[in-house]
Every structure is written in structure tokens, then in C-alpha cells.
Amino acid sequence: MSNTALVTGATGLLGRQVLAAFKRAGWLVVGQGLSRATPPTILRANLENPSEVERLLNETKPQVVVHCAANRSPDQCDKDPEQARKINVEATRALARGTSSRGILFVYISTDYVFPGREGEAPYEADAPTNPTNKYGEMKRDGEIVTLEETRDNGLGVVLRVPVLYGSAKSNDESAVNVLIDAVWKAQDPNAGVKMDDWAQRYPTNTEDVARICLHVAVKYLREKGSIKSLPKILQFTSEDRMTKYEMCEKFAEILALPLPGMIRNKQGNDPYGPVQRPYDTHLSTKELKNLGIDVRTVDFDAWWRRELGAFKK
């Protein structure tokens, strides 16, 4: 009898790949979505409603839930924190409580933005103190806390922190990396004045790699369910491809054989008066995954994008 996985946010950039990874491994996989749900593969459920969370778990009866659904925009979280908290914290609490009471493994996708990212501090180990610089990071940190609190008694909650993600997208604005391609095209106008950050160090990571890690973590933790309390509860995964957003744009421009006449390199860092402060370097240590024997190698950023964008090259 095959295991069943439930993936929240299954219509999103990461959720689609997690769904595909479990399916390729022979699992019965059910996704959750809202506006883009397509039953029966992706069920419609509002995770902000605890009764719908209960219904979803009762209907799908999974062995593992991978919680990808989130408001991942720092700017949106700052503009409407009350609404963002409903999905980033309260929905996480309901899922963690519901899975824990049913003996289901719960994998919560978190972010490197839980760390302050001050110069000289990275890489951060999984047990390093968190101190987010913006509301998005605070909410994801709070999601970690409720995950571990609700699953403390049986140890069935796992936090997986990841950095900025890229991958196959239905539209470029699904990813803070993919959307930079649009900026490159806009910058073909010498008068465009596209300001691009060349300060914060980012570690763009492919969604297919993250999905593989989710699968391997689920297999490992379910296989060792009898001693699960001894396994680490906070895991971290990242690529080692370090670059700023401006440097990513340079790579895209090189692949597409385009200049960047309308792009302005911005090395100023955070505007001290700006509403959303972003960390400088939140590079994650992957030591806990390595200790579990999980392969943390990732696809090469440049190679993946050369394949992806090759058809558009002039």
C-alpha cells in the first residue's frame, strides 16, 4: 500500500514541484489550492478556516503534509500584516495541530529571512538565534514556533528553511528570481532607469531540488518514526550559488545575448527609512541534512537557466 502525501499551496511555484516529486516516487499525492484548485488532484480548501483544514485532513488521510502555502511577499506582509498572518501563522497552527492529533508527519516550509543577515554572521546553523528584520520573516518565524509547539509531544513536526526560489513558472512574477528576466527586457530601453539591488547576497535555489529534499525528508522521518523524537526538528537547504539580484540580471542578459543599458546598479543597501528592511546575507548551513545522509547537491544556476532560456536567445 502506497503512502499518501498532502501538499498545500500545490498550484504555486514550489508546490507544483513537490507534488510532482512525490508522484514520481510512487506516492498517492493530493494537493490543496484555493483560487486555482482543480479537483480531484488539487482540492479546494481555505486554510484560513480551521474547519476546512479538518475536513481536508479527514478526506485525504495523508501520512505526510508538506505545507508550501504562504504569503511570501515581504512588501505584502508589511502592507497587510493581519491578512498575511492568517495564512503564514494561523493556518500553520491549524495544520500542525490537526496533523499532530492524527499522527501525521508535518513539514513546514520556512525561510532564510528568519535570520537578521548582518554582515559576517552567515552561514547560519539551524540552531542559531532567529531575529528577523521584517514582518514576513517574523511571521515565518512564528510559523516555526507554532509548528514545534503543536507537535512537541510526538515530534512529528519538521521545519525546512529555504532561501529565494526559482524554477519552472507559469508567469515570471511567481518568483523573485524569475521576475528579474522581465527587468532585463525592460532595461533594453536606455531610459528605463531600472534600479536593481547589488548589495544583498542571495542564494537562489531551484524548486526541483527543494521538492527532492522534501521527499527524502518525508521518507527518512517516516521510516524512523519510532525514534522520530531523536531526529532534528529544524532543517535547512540552500544552493551555494551566491549572487546579488543585479548579478542575476547580468547572467540572464549574458544568456539572452542582451545588454543592460537601462539598468542601474544599486549598492546602497536598505533605505533606513524604508518600511521593509531586507537582510544582507542569510546563507544557510545544510549540516543537519548532511548528518541525516541526505544529498544536498543542487543544479547549477547558470546551466539550468541556459537550458530554460535557450529558446529565447537571439
Per the document, the length of the chain is 314
> Are 147 and 159 spatial neighbours (Cβ–Cβ below 8 Å)?
yes
Is 136 one of the annotated active-site residues of the chain? Answer: yes
Cα–Cα distance list, 251 to 193, 207, 259 (Å)? 19, 19, 11
List the catalytic residue out of 108, 124, 136, 166. 136
- Cα separation, 304 vs 205, whole angstroms: 11
Q: DSSP assignment of 188-229, as one string?
A: TSTT--EEEE-SSBB--EEHHHHHHHHHHHHHHHHHTGGGGG
- Cα separation, 314 vs 139, whole angstroms: 43
Phi, psi of 164 (to 5 degrees): -65, 140
Cell for 125? 546553523
- Cα separation, 245 vs 247, whole angstroms: 5
Place of cell 492524527: 102
Active site residues: 136
